[in-house]
Amino acid sequence: MAKRKLTALNVQLKLKILNEVDHGTEKKAIAQQFGIPKSTLSTIIKNREKIIHAAASGSGNKSKRCRTVKYEKIDTILLEWFSHMRASNIPLTGPVIQSKANDIAKDMSIKDFRCSAGWLSRIQRRQSISSLQICGEANEVDEESANNWLHEFYRVREKYASCDVFNMAETGFFYNLFPNHTLGAKGDKCHGGARSEQRVTVVLCCNADGSEKFRPWIIGKSGKPSWFKNINMDTLPCIYSHHQKAWIDGTSFGKWIFVSTGDMFFLR
């Protein structure tokens, strides 16, 4: 059997392949047309967003040509809709934008328009639209109230030295949770099981200049954990207390506030 010649596919060629997929061409026919195995086609489809982003940023293009915009009215209406959606903090993906562009063309009775992957990459490049990582919940915060609170905080903060300003933070520690990535031999099937919900709460506190740090406070579910058997808990490098859900409750927090400065922490 003749050895198949390996050919590197550039971004533009991958966009053409995605365009054929968008037109509903059978995958077998696409693979034959471009001389690629089905596995390569599957990888290209899987990496659609990365390919479109690479094309929009100009990555992989040896040359660039200036082209006039054929459907300028569609661009204008689509960008107005895009700006409105993002102002409302609504996430948008490539396929969603393509679907909207096709709807706009249909409403304008433009029959020869089809929003392909290539068209999407070009409008992204023209309008400097790129893929962004969604993080946080910014819209859940009242920015004006937050700024007013900060202003009041700084006013009060000026009265105290850094050594007298403390910050406490809590975090959940899932000590029995397996990692969500693994190494394995090629061809191995990787399946995940039920993820452990066993956790403790870890509380840390120190002052602004770092001169005073409290012992970590660990909150578990059991009042007398088996692993503490025959151990003097007062000798632990941390403070331990318990709660039925391993949370901080009002009573324990009140005790922490009252006695923490002397590190005489008796919650057990």
Question: Is this prediction's pTM over 0.85?
Answer: no
Tell me the domain boundaries of the chain: 9-133, 163-177+196-268
Among candidate residues 50, 66, 60, 43, the one with its CA nearest the CA of residue 122: 66
**Residue 2's pLDDT is what?**
46
Structure-block tokens of residue 45: 């489809």
**Residue 203's pLDDT is what?**
92
Give the other-Cβ count within 10 Å of 172's Cβ: 12
**Neighbouring C-alpha atoms within 13 Å toward the C-beta of 64:** 10
Block mean pLDDT (10 aa), the chain, length 268: 56 83 86 86 84 63 48 82 74 81 87 80 74 54 79 89 90 78 51 73 91 89 82 83 85 77 47
* Helices and strands, number each (H, E), in the chain: 9, 4
Residue whose structure tokens are 């690629």: 36
**Residue 161's pLDDT is what?**
92
